[in-house]
Homo-oligomer: A and B are copies of this chain.
């Protein structure tokens, strides 16, 4: 029989076990922090009805949807119909569907976290993923939701990224009402026009202020020179502290109702983030943050690594006016963020910021003599009962080969029980990380390894 080449499609990240462990540790850290702030888990099916998934979206997203058909229904596509089922492309649409469907069984404000994979039929390209994890939190209110929840979100982000330990980071905040109001003041009232201007302004870092000013005052936009200058000054506002943010917000002068509401919200949110215990070094007003989606209506967030600006935002989101208008008449305002963990992990690994993990296996019990197997198994049982992950060599083979296996597999401790050791009632432990070995009475083995592993945990 001819062999089928074993391969996966482009745009998926499949990891070797030790990398998978590193990835899993990041997932666990995110989950632990989400739970610590009182968010509840949900999971939704990967497959949704196409009409449910595609109510809101247009153009770009729809072109990237993966449709699903069971063998029996493959014929339907021949008629040129859109298949009935599709894979979710984010976790927000499924959340909206979930909340609308289970509205009467949920308590509001509904605080949910969801960490699952999503699917996009992207063109194959380095750093573009067709399957990737999103780790989302959202707080959904019924009828209303205090702006105070907008301040809680950065507290969660701070807690997550501090514990992920991937270097200094900054949470950038802006407010869509403030932006909208400011642009309206300048005579740019149309939302599409505002977005086009912002897209142009986004080129500031790459092309420089002169280029952007020329474009804005050129034929395409036709803005007056002083308007262009005001826009450039606005989007360059960054704060260094809460007090500095207040001063810079005040310096913007008076504005429309939307503008004033945005300013008041930003002030309340910034002051309260500090009350949440987030150090002022880790969040800042940044009036260039817009978030592409029309979806957001108030506070918006982006988070960047100070030493790795090239990675871009590692966690983004914001406040929206109504989550599930396409499914229910209930008014459900919310605020949330998303961490695209697959891409983040890939970028961090690329930048050398995460490395292959040690094995989840703590101890390998070697096999010197098959006749002693019951002893090896008993030792392994004792270790496992104490929560120490233990593998026993059952196949046998030369001891050197067994050590090599442990080393290659990233297992730190190797336990040797030969005739000598059994006679003396001791165990030889080889610490492959420290390249050290020691003898310990059999009765003290569990205690000794527990101490060693606890120290390693602290040092990690």
A70–B396 CB distance below 8 A:
no
B97–A6 CB distance below 8 A:
yes
Instruction: For A12, list chain B residues within 8 Å (CB).
Output: 45, 47
Complex partner residue of A146 from B144, B326, B394, CB under 8 angstroms: B394
B71–A40 CB distance below 8 A:
no
**A295 contacts the other chain (Cβ, under 8 Å)?**
no
Most-contacted residue by chain B among A40, A46, A78 (CB, 10 A): A40
Task: Give bound CA distance, A405 to B46, whole Å.
Answer: 30
Instruction: For A68, list chain B residues within 8 Å (CB).
Output: 66-68, 87
Instruction: For A117, list chain B residues within 8 Å (CB).
Output: 46
- Smallest CB gap from A48: residue in B: B8
Instruction: For A70, list chain B residues within 8 Å (CB).
Output: 64-67, 121
**A51 contacts the other chain (Cβ, under 8 Å)?**
yes
Task: Give bound CA distance, A119 to B46, whole Å.
Answer: 10
**A173 contacts the other chain (Cβ, under 8 Å)?**
no
Task: Give bound CA distance, A78 to B67, whole Å.
Answer: 14
Instruction: For A72, list chain B residues within 8 Å (CB).
Output: 63, 121
Copies of the chain in the assembly: 2
A148–B373 CB distance below 8 A:
yes
Complex partner residue of A131 from B47, B69, B145, B152, CB under 8 angstroms: B47
Task: Give bound CA distance, A387 to B1, whole Å.
Answer: 57
Which listed segment binds B: A98-106, A193-201, A304-312, A450-458? A98-106
- Chain A interface residues toward B at CB < 8 A: 1, 3-9, 12, 14-18, 20-21, 24, 35-38, 40-49, 51-52, 55, 62-72, 74, 77-78, 80, 83, 85, 87, 96-98, 100-102, 105-107, 109, 111-112, 117, 119, 121, 130-131, 141, 144-146, 148-149, 152, 159, 272, 275-277, 324-329, 359-361, 364, 373-374, 377-378, 381, 384, 387-392, 394-396, 405, 408-409
Q: Supply 8 further A-B pairs (C-beta < 8 A) apart from A20-B40, A38-B391, A141-B395.
A: A4-B52, A20-B43, A35-B361, A37-B390, A40-B361, A64-B71, A74-B83, A144-B395
